[in-house]
Structure 1
Amino acid sequence: MKARVHVMLKDGVLDPQGEAVRHALGTLGFLGVNGVRQGKIIELDLAEGTDEATVAQMCEKLLANTVIESYRVEFG
Structure 2
Amino acid sequence: MRTAEERAGRALWGGLESMITPQVPVVEPALAGTFRDLPDINVVRHARRLLALAESASPCSPRHPAPRAARAVTG
Give the TM-score taking structure 1 as reference length: 0.27
Which is higher, the Rg of structure 1 or of structure 2?
2
Q: Indicate the structure whose relative CO is greater, using CA pairs within 8 Å and at least 6 residues apart.
A: 1
Where is the helix percentage greater, Structure 1 or Structure 2?
A: 1
Where is the strand percentage greater, Structure 1 or Structure 2?
A: 1
